[in-house]
A and B are shown apart, each in its own frame.
Chain A
Amino acid sequence: MSLTELTIADAAAGLRARKFSAVELVRAHTDAITALNPRLNAYITPTSDAALQAAACADEALAKGEAKPLTGIPLGIKDLFCTSGVRTTAASNILKNFVPPYESTVTANLLRDGAVFVGKTNLDEFAMGSANITSAFGPVENPWKRNGDADTKLVPGGSSGGSAAAVAAGLAMGATGTDTGGSIRQPAAYCGIVGLKPTYGRCSRFGTIAYASSLDQAGPMARSVRDCAIMLQSMAGFDARDSTSVNCDVPDYSAAVGRSLKGLKVGIPAEYRAEGLSAEIEAAWQQGINWLKAAGCEIVDVSLPHTKYGLATYYIVAPAECSSNLARYDGLRFGERVPGATLDAMYEATRRAGFGPEVRRRIMMGTYVLSAGYYDAYYLKAQKVRSLIRRDFTESFQKVDVLLTPTAPTPAFAQGEKTDDPVQMYLNDIFTVPASMAGMPAMSVPVGLGATGLPLGLQLIGRPFDEETLLAAGSALESAAGFTHRPAIRAEGAK
């Protein structure tokens, strides 16, 4: 099997058994990036040279028997995580030349465990988008193709579209993502990989460029549930530098993979049978229900009555926070500056040139909902609805252990579709946003191909800090589905 097709678990075993070296493994991926990135645009900044040097060090560690869990494993890093000495852009013009002198906690944890970073992956600008078309560095192409249609370029989903495309196409064994309203799960579904958004507070936000602070959460994206467990093991943990990070033990996530589901109660929320849910996804959902039943789960109908307010609430809370979080990009201390005759003129010119239309739209919406006279009607109301959404989940989890829903209402769509009306684009996140609003952990697992040959994902939502149940149920779906399909554009195919 090609080195770019291995799982992290298999690659780690192969490295330890000296079946191949870390340099060989990493070179297979950097070669794939060289070959395919010009087309897919999954990476904004490949770091091949540094990766090969790190791989040589990994081989030394392996030779000395000092290998750590991720030693020699090539990973992509979403370009929202600050990486010391490596340009970090947030896919924005305003940070196009920003080189942070510090490392985010999540990437520092991965490096501590031996990971090799092969590059910074593309994303929607400041993580704002659901199709990876708002990046200042150009859109990312989904490596999957519709049956018999090699020409139409599909979106990889967003905002972690570069990470999803890279992992799907074999340009990384796994990648970090961040999820604010679905930015890990929706692209994972569109690209046929596994993506896990942990509980809010599970992974530190220190050094990760903020979009909406009360929602942002880092998580792993990989080609198997076990690989997500391995990555999360390294990424998670308390960090005193993030006041919202939660100080509770990190369990052995890999131990949960393959765990028996006997007696597990799986909730099926009625409200997710929403309008616009495609028939193929509804069918995949039913299939997932049947698989879990066969694995010994008890299926329970539940209701999350405030689901319908999730999206509207999200598009108040997230822009409000972003309008404040992005105020620091003012051209004064770092990032790009466009001169102006006065301070205000400089701000305006800098921010007009620095931010793309979607970012500007969200800053304006956020500024509006926080304004005097509108705060109560929008922001305060949204916070109240948010607690109702959270309560829906809390009450459901008194009856069931995990929820099963579709990840997105449709499979990947084409570049250029849904771009006229921002609201059409926002609807992609209708199933992922509620768990984000509630801070619950959730995971997307690929379960099959739809009518046009595109991957379909199902979402599992768990109790706070119970990522283990997600991993257990996710691995059951994974093995039942036997999802081994690979995208049309991939490293192996390109050779």
Chain B
Amino acid sequence: MSYTLEGKTGTWEIVVGLEVHAQVISHSKLFSGASASYGGEPNTHVSLVDAGFPGMLPVLNQECVAQAIRTGLGLRARINLESRFDRKNYFYADLPTGYQISQFTHPIVGEGTVEIELGDGTVRHIGITRLHMEQDAGKSMHDQDPTRSFIDLNRAGVALMEIVSEPDIRSPEEAGAYLRKLRQILRYLGTCDGNMEEGSMRADVNVSVRRAGEPFRTRCEIKNVNSIRYVMHAIEVEATRQIEVWEGGGEVDQETRLFDPSRNETRSLRSKEDAHDYRYFPDPDLLPLVVEQAWVDELERALPELPDDKRDRFIKQYGIPRYDASVLVAEQAIADYYEEVARGRDARLAANWVTGDLFGALNRTGRSIQDSPISAQALGGMLDLMADKTINGKIAKEVFEDMLETGDSAADIVERKGLKQVTDTGAIDAAVADVLARNADKVEEYRGGKDRLFGFFVGQVMKAMAGKANPAIVNEALKKVL
């Protein structure tokens, strides 16, 4: 069922396209040797090139190009073997040269596609228009002094990838799913860390509304939204605003807006008339960027398995449900963890433990898979004890909690606490006899046809044996006697 908004005069559909700015993971900046690492004292990662000193020239960092190509391949997009850098001219205090070097007319990556999956299991394909490389600007700080602004150029010149989607997104949920999927792909590829809080991934959101079957109406661009949740809110808020404008007999103006999460509204930043004229033209300091197909092929061969492929392989190889597979491939580290647990073991049981108890425990303790208190090896060891019937499922829960707390191995815990499952039929028979003797009235009722009392007897026997009895043997012994 498609997402719509109800206005006073009828039903509206929303149309969304996203421009995502993703900071490239690289040692140095796009056109200079200065460090591209995050943080650092202000103006400590700045070269003369970044600061736009007279006579300084940009030299393209090949590693950033490789990262853009890897990303393009991950988006199943066309790699343009010849691309070009343009200058986008505007004056601002944190833009030292007075222009941003970007790729305007000839981006390095062309059309691609991202597959998203919605909560109800619907799969949709969102088109990628293009990906291009550009420089980040510096940072203006207006809160350091009552009258002056301070400039930090550490980020000036850091490589960004701008990833532009087609206007294929039709709901806030789809926008969220797209961003999560994009971030997942970037992280798998190791081309962007996807940390929206640190600003290494940010989105410009283009929103319009229309009635079913209509062509596109005027869109507004919401600039620099820095969390997936805010993107989803901003779309809804902006779409609602536009519907009110259209239904009130007005016209939506093409403009740039800002989303204010505290007031849950968007505000006009500048209208189309005030829009900058960026005077794009090819940067004469840089030659056209020509890459060899052989290099692209080499990069492609070295790509890691991508999330969609991994998910499909998990379903096939491990026989686990699609939902579980999707959850397990959310992060490369989770997938790796799972595969180590599942290797040579009951893969479905492994999936249940990882997505169930382990995720629950990580959530509870606020930890990530990387610093999980239970290693994949340790969890595997516990599954081995279940497989060889040393412990049963109930005891396993107890062992797992102990592992979480102490970090001990399952075998040590079982040994220390004496939790080894009892399969000694003599001991079980004795316990059965004891329980039946003490509950002669219930035995009478059971034999009189009250079948459900069987479970009561099992429970009493297990209790008598401190949970350690092999449940199958208990069942068998009870059935024999009763």
Contact = CB atoms under 8 A, between A and B. Distances in A.
Interface of A: 81-82, 88, 90, 95, 98, 100-102, 104, 205-210, 212-214, 240-244, 320-321, 323-324, 327-328, 330, 332-334, 343-344, 347, 367, 370-372, 375, 379
A123 to B, nearest CB: 14
A209 B96 contact: no
Contacts of A320: 281
Contacts of A244: 284-287
A207 B286 CA distance: 16
A241 B58 CA distance: 8
B134 to A, nearest CB: 16
A333 B96 contact: yes
Contacts of B199: none
A306 to B, nearest CB: 20
B53 A343 contact: no
A243 B60 contact: yes
A243 B52 contact: no
A82 B97 contact: no
A330 B98 contact: yes
Contacts of A209: 54-55
Chain A CB within 10 Å, residue with most, of B57, B89, B92, B149: B57
A324 B89 contact: yes
A254 to B, nearest CB: 29
A327 B89 contact: yes
Given A213-B284, A375-B281, A324 B55 contact: no
B93 A104 contact: no
Contact of B99 (A104, A212, A324, A333): A324
B96 A328 contact: yes
A467 B91 CA distance: 40
Given A324-B87, A330-B98, A343-B93, A243 B57 contact: yes
A367 B89 CA distance: 10
A240 B280 CA distance: 26
A344 B276 CA distance: 14
Nearest to B55: A207
18 contacts: A98-B54, A100-B53, A102-B48, A213-B284, A243-B59, A244-B286, A321-B284, A323-B279, A327-B91, A327-B97, A327-B98, A328-B53, A328-B96, A330-B91, A332-B93, A332-B151, A367-B279, A375-B280
Chain A CB within 10 Å, residue with most, of B53, B59, B286: B53
Nearest to B97: A328
A379 B55 CA distance: 24
B351 to A, nearest CB: 52
Contacts of A243: 57-60, 285-287
B96 A324 contact: no
Q: What 4 pairs across the A-B complex have the smallest Cβ distances?
A: A327-B98, A370-B279, A214-B284, A213-B284
Contact of B54 (A82, A214, A240): A82
Nearest to B140: A343
Given A82-B55, A206-B57, A241-B59, A370 B89 contact: yes
Interface string B51-81: 1111111111000000000000000000000
B277 interface: yes
B91 A372 contact: no
Interface in B238-288: 277, 279-281, 284-287
A88 B97 contact: no
Interface string B350-393: 00000000000000000000000000000000000000000000
A371 B284 contact: no
Contacts of A330: 91, 98
Contacts of A242: 57, 59
A104 B48 CA distance: 13
Interface in B182-241: none
B159 to A, nearest CB: 16
A252 B98 CA distance: 41
Contacts of B57: 205-206, 241-243
A21 to B, nearest CB: 34
Contact of B277 (A98, A334, A372): A372
Nearest to B98: A327
Contacts of B281: 320, 324, 370, 375, 379
Nearest to A344: B91
A451 B99 CA distance: 50
A328 B285 contact: no
Given A100-B55, A328-B54, A343-B149, 20 more contacts: A101-B48, A205-B55, A206-B55, A208-B55, A213-B285, A243-B57, A243-B59, A324-B99, A327-B99, A330-B91, A332-B93, A332-B96, A333-B52, A333-B53, A344-B91, A347-B91, A372-B277, A375-B279, A375-B280, A375-B281
